[in-house]
Amino acid sequence: MKAEPLAHLRPAADAAPMDFASVVDPVTPVVREMGDADRVRWDAFVETAPTGTFFHRSAWRDVVEEAFGQRTSFLYAERDGRIVGVLPLARQKSVLFGDALISLPFCVYGGVVAADAVAADALIAAAEARAADLGVGHLECRDLAPGAIAGRDGWSTTELYVTFRKAIVADPEANMLAIPRKQRAMVRKGIKAELVATVDDGVERFFALYADNVHRHGTPAQSRRYFELLRRTFGDDCRVLTVAAADGRPLSSVLSFYFRNEVLPYYAGDAPDARDYAANDFKYWELMRRSGEEGITLFDYGRSKVGTGPYDFKRNWGFTPQTLAYGYKLVRAGAVPENNPLNPKYRAFIALWRRLPLGVANRLGPLLARSLG
């Protein structure tokens, strides 16, 4: 099916200047919605764009629609028959948490990837028009670094989230020595405990640890079906690494994404006694060690909220926090939403969720988790 133009949009006159390497005065592109015939071109652009990420891949449309039933709008800008920008969007609607058009739910990075400022402006204008047509509360772009949204009129930003990204090398000893001394001691504790790390074919061991872990923290779990879908959709670019005790008992597991030269541990879970073995520390070391030896050059510890335990844990590894450039355009909402566990109004819910039997939480969790991406 051939994609039809959404709009032939001019860049906003009040848009902030952007530092793009591009031709002088490029022609304003046509903005279209991705069809199945556009997937190869879309992914080829993302793969070569400097600001492209794993979360800009076209297959996320299938994941979001199949796993969560959300309506998507994967927009691309086209000039002279070539894709010059992409912006994946999905509508996340919930009675509890509101109605939003997001790039992209369940993904820590998203937002505009464009070859030049004119293409970026056209995509943002199309997204704003789509948000207005749908009547959502707000439009949200989850940029990794300041770009198309920075300084744009009518957009707000937040500094709630940071990411941690650091270069790694092929030499395991060099990677080990780059870890601060106290954290390095925890890794060596796991090694001394004779823990064993294995790349799993399925998600069974991972899901058991993950579901129990998030339940103990008072957070709804995604469904096992969702993780199976991720593995099936992304293949070898989505892997599970599980750490077991010397007796074979699973202690800690992580599901990671791979893109270009980067590895991103994304979902994880630990047994209650994993701390006794430093299994969590050993798990991330094994992922780092294996990735470096495979030729991966960047370890992305992912998103954390400022001031939380995961934030401190990642800093202890010698990673420097980088504020994520999340932008919000209010459409019908009166304020930027605060749909996260740090919001005091969710404390009672978290306490109640922890008291639910695990089996009940696992059945109900996916129904709520689809609104928490």
Residue 187, domain CATH:
3.40.630.30
- Min mean pLDDT across 174-178, 224-228, 307-311 is at 307-311
Residues 233 and 270 in one domain: yes
Contact by Cβ (8 Å): 301, 314: yes
> pLDDT tens for residues 79-122?
999 999 999 999 998 766 678 999 999 999 989 999 999 999 99
For the cut 60, the answer to whether the pLDDT of residue 201 exceeds it is yes
12 DSSP assignment: P
Residue 95: inside a domain, yes or no? Answer: yes
pLDDT tens digits along 267-290: 999 999 999 999 999 999 999 999
Is the domain of 128 the same as that of 227?
Answer: no
Q: Check whether residue 252 and residue 275 sit in a common domain.
A: yes
Residue 349 within any structural domain of the chain: no
Q: Does residue 107 fall inside a structural domain?
A: yes
Residue 322, strand partner residues: 163
If asked whether residues 253 and 195 sit together in one domain, one would say yes
Q: Does residue 353 fall inside a structural domain?
A: no
- The answer, yes or no, to whether residue 26 has pLDDT greater than 90, is no
> How many domains would you assign to the chain?
2
Same structural domain for residues 183 and 39?
A: no
pTM of the model: 0.85
Residue 345 is given by DSSP the state G
Strands 155-158 and 138-143, bridge-based pairing:
unpaired
Mean pLDDT of 332-359: 61
Quick one: 10 and 156 in the same domain?
A: yes
Contact 112, 20 (CB under 8 A): no
pLDDT of residue 333: 73
Segment holding 43, helix H or strand E: helix 39-48
Of the pLDDT bands very low, low, confident and very high (cuts 50, 70, 90), residue 22 is very low
Whole domain around residue 58: which residue ranges? 5-160+325-339
Mean pLDDT on 199-209: 97
Tokens 């789509």 found at: 130
Same domain, 40 and 134: yes
Q: Are strands 155-158 and 298-305 parallel, antiparallel or unpaired?
A: unpaired
Do 46 and 150 belong to one domain? yes
* Average pLDDT of span 148-153: 78
Token digits for 64? 């979001």
Q: What is the dihedral of CA 228, 47, 327, 306, to 10 degrees?
A: 60
Say whether both 247 and 133 belong to one domain.
no
Residues 199 and 142 in one domain: no
Same domain, 287 and 329: no
Residues 223, 173 share a domain: yes
